[in-house]
Every structure is written in C-alpha cells, then in structure tokens.
Amino acid sequence: MEAKLRQVGNSLGFTLPAAELKAFNARPGDILELEIKRVVCHARADWDSASQWPGADEESVIAEDTAFDRDEWQW
C-alpha cells in the first residue's frame, strides 16, 4: 500500500484507506505500529531532468506568426 504525505500544520500526515484498516479490524483510538520501508519519490524531485518530461528530447515546435496574428488578433 502507498500513502501520500500531506502537510498537517507543522507536521506531516497521511490517510489510510478504510478497507485496509477493516482488514486489521482497526477502530478509532487504536494504536497502529507502522514500518516505513522506503520513500518512493520526493515531490518535484528531478524536475530539471529531461528524462522526466515526455517529449523533452524532441525539438521544440514554435508556430510562426500568421496574418491573423499580425493583423486580426487584439493583444
């Protein structure tokens, strides 16, 4: 199971699906013992890496100005 961390005041928290908790017969007020195996990814990590963006290795296509752009469009 994966859970996304969220900011909760000055802390971090996550929500566990009810189905997962029912499988353990958990109820409000119960104490859970959790083990974090690994952090899968950090939000916004490697944004500067082109491999993270589909089509980043392709040449950029910029449309040329048309008569409409020059004469008709109101900027």
Low-confidence ranges of the chain (pLDDT < 50): none
The closest of 64, 65, 48 to 56, measured between CA atoms, is 48
pLDDT of 42-54, one tens digit each? 666 666 666 666 6
The per-residue pLDDT for 61 is 63
The per-residue pLDDT for 67 is 81
Torsion of CA 47, 53, 59, 62, to 10 degrees: -80
* pTM of the predicted protein model: 0.41
Q: C-alpha angle with apex 33: 28 to 34, nearest 5 degrees?
A: 110
DSSP 35-48: --------TTTTTT
